[in-house]
Structure 1
Amino acid sequence: MLRLTSPATIIVLAALTALGPLATDMYLPAMPVMAEALNTGPDQVQLTLSLYMAGFAMAQLFCGPISDRFGRRPVMIAGFTLFLAASLLCAFAPSIEWLLAGRFLQAFGGAAGPVLGRAAVRDIYGPVEAGRVLSYMASTMAMAPALAPVVGAGLLLFFGWESVFLLLAVYAAIMLLILALLMPEPLPADRRQSVAPRVILANYRMLLTQRSFVGYTLINASGFSGLFAFLSGSSFVLIEYMGLSPFQYGIGFILIVAGFFSGTLFSGRYSHRLGRDRLLLMATLMCTFAGTTMALLAIGGVHQPWAVVGPHILFLFGFGIVMPQSMAGALAPNPQCAGSASSLFGFLQMTIAALGGALVGQFHDGTSRTMAITIALGGGVSLAAYLRLIRPCRREARISRANCRQG
């Protein structure tokens, strides 16, 4: 068994959490080919991404509270088992309807990795150190979305789109072995919660009345919607409209993920020195500027790959800071129900992101305009959430502490 506080455990948790990016990013270069192979349109293939995110969001509402009662490890084992079976269904889907069903089941199983990986970090490291650990976990995770499109493009070239889902099934099988043989249970027995519906609903109600929880969650979800808009539309914009090959698309994706990777490293390094809220202000300003720049270029008729990839590198640098810091901020005050908090956080994140992806698919006009405007809106709402929800909370906390010292 691994020690809970060992670096190897952090790597395993990062690998479990990386299932989400792998399942979304690896098949992006294959989407145009899949549309042709399954005799359907781009909107239906894009729907496999939005449906995955919707299922991912729904599943998180259940797996977190269940893990608060029975522990993180058994719920992750059940989730990865379902993901494995669903990946095989996707690989051998004879029609778009079967593929949609497989993607939905994939999402239900795959949700256990990210939700319970976050909760496990909160279980092990506490409220302050969790932000730093999540930042370094995100740095490790960044390798998954960086490599996934390149691997997906290679599999598409040599073995066909079905091989992408077969590789995801192999990944799930390896994670199952590690969970069963090496991973200890991070949730202590004395912190287990009831799974009675009234207790779960009471926890969710309590979380939704926390201004800081709502603020940190909205910051993350809005930034993630910008990322998801890119995931949903970028292959059609860059490959079909701008003429990049799947391999060139994969290289561009590596550059974009390098921005995310750099942001997570910056977040981990300066987490203690600058503090969570100063980092979030800097990052949300960066996302807003990058998204607005991309949208203005698209509206102005500049339809070149650099006008999409360049601004999105900066957007992802900002989101690399936003993601771990907002996660830690949302989970910090809720150790008694970290699984439920992680579930609700993830549900809202994925629901808002799925809406962004659906907008891109619904209003896609063949150019980069719809995608770029959606990314700009994501950055702007993230900044507004910080200024309207988090900054007032921090100001009230400082005034309260000053009054306590004077008293």
Structure 2
Amino acid sequence: MKKQYSVSLVVAIVLMWTLPAMSTDIYLPSLPNMAKYFDVTLSEVQLTIFFYTMGFSIGALFFGPISDRIGRRPVVIASMAFSAITSLVACITPNLTVLFIARFLQGVGLVGVASTMRAITKDVSPDAASMAKFGAILGIAVPIASAVAPILGGYIERFFYWRMSFAFLFVYILIFLVYSIKKFPETNHEKLERPFKYLLKDYKEVLFNRTFFSYNLVTAMSLSAMYGYLTVSPKLLQVKYGLSPEAFGYTNLLVTVSLIASSFLNSKLINRFGIDRLLKIGVYIIGFSGMFFVIGGVLPIDSIYLILVPLCIMVFGCGFIFPNASAGGMSLFPKNAGTAGAVYAFIQMLGGSIGSGLISSVSHRFDAQICLGVLLIIQTLIGLYTVSYLIKNKE
């Protein structure tokens, strides 16, 4: 029987879940000026997102299995402490190379928080449907953080300096580190007794489960779309259309509204349609946004709405994918949630890294808007095949 936890713990889980989004989005408005500061191209500075997602992806493989065996609380505390240190290093970095390293290590630290929070949602949820509803709440919290972070970062860039964005992250993480030390409870009351020497076998059990991998792949495709957009958004909105850092930050409010709307709608439809059919709807919506991006890039019309409208459509589709795919995959391993969460985070962030890396490598040669649209269309085709397998397998 699941233990009932306080509202304050749920709030803390939600806020800590937003840390990775905050660390990605808060300095986006500063990217053009960071390129000038380091005397490099914008594409080179955009690689800080790629290195962060790579660190996040690789680090995911370690923290989940550890939390299965020693508990969630010590992993959360250690991850918070490491993330605070790397944020401070990013703040005082003397050059771009050190910033790349700091961002990579920051990703390693924050994935310890994210993967453990995902496992904790399993700890406190009695079934997959409840977990999906919890995921919908988290799905609302992340876009709020993604909206607040670049707005805050825009004003930091305007009135202070890009380094202050990382200083803010340092203080923000430090607050939750203190909370975790003083009040965060242990939620894993069924610790895995298997020694670490069986870790590879545990990974194999999770990774080679075709249903789990299918859910994970759909999420990876969606996150690739999100990070692809985040990577080129300063170029599309600040460089091409001349938005100020703070105006750029406010455009993320559209992302928030879209994701909150779809997450809310998802929570209302989950019991009626089930997670797999809602996943398929989300994939179709992302495909439509990809076609919109391509058409907007081809048309001889210079309008920022040809970017913002398909952006909202894309994010709306993601709101049907993130909570349902996570619930469907994680519910398969109730005794091994930490390991499952680690593999899940690894694959989804690997997708984000691929999306960010691909866009960075081609957006300086071709139209960034068209490149993003083509990426979304390819992901849609893969996603539709994957979801069709899930539906057919259950029938």
Q: TM > 0.5 between the two?
A: yes
* 2:387 corresponding residue in structure 1: 386
Other-structure match for 2:221: 222
Specify the alignment match of 1:343 in structure 2: 342
Determine the C-alpha separation between the residues in 1 that align with 2:68 and 2:45.
35
Provide the C-alpha distance between the structure 1 equivalents of 2:88 and 2:59, rounded to a whole number of angstroms: 20
Determine the structure 1 residue equivalent to 2:134.
133
AA matched with 2:331? A
Find the residue that maps to 1:94 and give its secondary structure.
Answer: coil
Task: Provide the C-alpha distance between the structure 1 equivalents of 2:293 and 2:372, rounded to a whole number of angstroms.
Answer: 9
* TM-score (normalised: structure 2): 0.95
Task: Kindly indicate whether the alpha-carbon contact (under 8 Å) linking 1:293 and 1:311 is maintained by their aligned counterparts in 2.
Answer: yes
Q: What amino acid maps onto 1:325 in structure 2?
A: N
Deviation at 1:257, TM superposition (A): 2.1
Q: Following superposition of structure 1 onto structure 2, how do residues 150-299 of structure 1 map, counting pairs within 5 Å?
A: 150-188=151-189, 190-197=190-197, 199-299=198-298
Unaligned runs of 5+ in 1: 396-407
> Residues 229 and 375 of structure 1 are in contact (CA less than 8 Å); yes or no, is this contact kept in structure 2?
no
Aligned residue for 1:336, secondary structure, equals: coil
Quickly say closer, same or farther: Cα 1:286–1:367, change in 2 above 3 A.
closer
The letter of the residue matching 2:210 is: R
Cα separation, 1, equivalents of 2:317 and 2:193: 36
Please report how far the alpha carbon of residue 308 of structure 1 lies from its aligned counterpart in structure 2 after TM superposition: 1.1
Once the two structures are TM-superposed, the CA of residue 313 in structure 1 deviates from its matched residue by 0.5
Q: Does 1:326 align with 2:304?
A: no
Residue 378 of structure 1: how far off its partner (Å)? 2.8
Q: Using the TM superposition, give the Cα deviation of residue 376 of structure 1 relative to its aligned residue in structure 2, in angstroms.
A: 3.1
What is the DSSP-based 3-state SS (H/G/I as helix, E as strand, rest coil) of the residue aligned with 2:125?
helix
Q: What letter corresponds to residue 55 of structure 2 in structure 1?
A: G
Q: Which position in structure 1 is the counterpart of 2:85?
A: 85
| AA at the equivalent of 2:310 | P
Q: Deviations over 1:304-334 (max 9, x none)?
A: 2111110111111110121011000000110
| TM-aligned CA distance change 1:225 to 1:165, over 3 Å | same
1:377 Cα deviation after fit: 2.6
Partner of 1:371: 372
Q: What is the root-mean-square deviation of aligned Cα atoms in Å?
A: 1.5
Aligned to 1:354: 353
| Equivalenced residues, count | 390
Deviation at 1:157, TM superposition (A): 0.5
Counterpart Cα distance in 2 of 1:359 and 1:267: 30
Aligned to 2:313: 314
Question: Alpha-carbon deviations, 1:336-395, whole Å to 9, x = none?
Answer: 1101101101100011210111111100136422223223333332223212x2122221
Show structure 2 runs of 5+ residues with no match: none
Does residue 76 (structure 1) correspond to residue 71 (structure 2)? The answer is no
The 1:301–1:378 alpha-carbon spacing in structure 2 relative to 1, beyond 3 Å, is farther
Q: Deviations for 1:272-331, whole angstroms, at most 9, x for unmatched residues?
A: 232212211211111111122212221334442111110111111110121011000000
**Match of residue 405 from structure 1:** none
SS at match of 1:244: coil
Q: Aligned-pair distance for 1:245?
A: 2.0
Question: What TM-score results when the alignment is normalised by the length of structure 1?
Answer: 0.92
Shift of 1:50: 0.3
CA displacement at 1:196 relative to structure 2: 1.7
* Bigger shift: residues 175-184 or 242-251: 242-251
**Residue 124 of structure 1 pairs with residue 88 of structure 2:** no
Instruction: Read off the aligned partner of 1:157 and give its amino acid letter.
Output: R
Q: Percent identity?
A: 26
Deviation, structure 1 residue 265: 1.4
Question: Counterparts of 1:306 and 1:377 in 2: how far apart (Å)?
Answer: 23
Q: Deviations over 1:18-56 (max 9, x none)?
A: 111111111111001111111222122111100000000
Give, in whole Å, the separation in 2 of the partners of 1:109 and 1:314: 32
Conserved 8 A contact 1:66-1:195: no
Greater CA drift, 354-363 or 255-264: 255-264
